[in-house]
Amino acid sequence: MQETHISYVSAGANLRAFMYGLKGSTNLVEIREALAGMVVPEFKTKSGVKIGALFENSLASLFFVCDVETRKLR
C-alpha cells in the first residue's frame, strides 16, 4: 500500500475518532497492519437503483445555493 493511501486513511480515521471523542493514532505501522488485515468486498452494482442526481445537476444546485446565500449577505 502506498504512503499516500495510508496517510489518507489515517487522516480520515483520526477525524472520525476526534468527532466521537476518541483518541486517534498516528502510528503508521499500526495503521498499515490494521489495513493489511481488512477484507474489502468487491463492489457490485444493484439493478434498478438510480443515482439521485447527475454530477452536472449537483454542481448547478451548489452554485444556485451559493448565489442565494451570497445575495442574502448583500
| Whole-prediction pTM | 0.47
Q: List all residues 6 or more positions away from 28 whose beta carbon is below 8 Å from its beta carbon.
A: 3, 6, 7, 10
- For residue 57, what pLDDT is reported? 58
- For residue 35, what pLDDT is reported? 81
Annotated domain spans of the chain: 3-40+47-73
Residue-level pLDDT, tens digit, the chain, 74 residues: 678 888 888 898 899 999 999 998 888 888 888 888 888 899 888 888 776 655 555 666 666 666 666 666 66
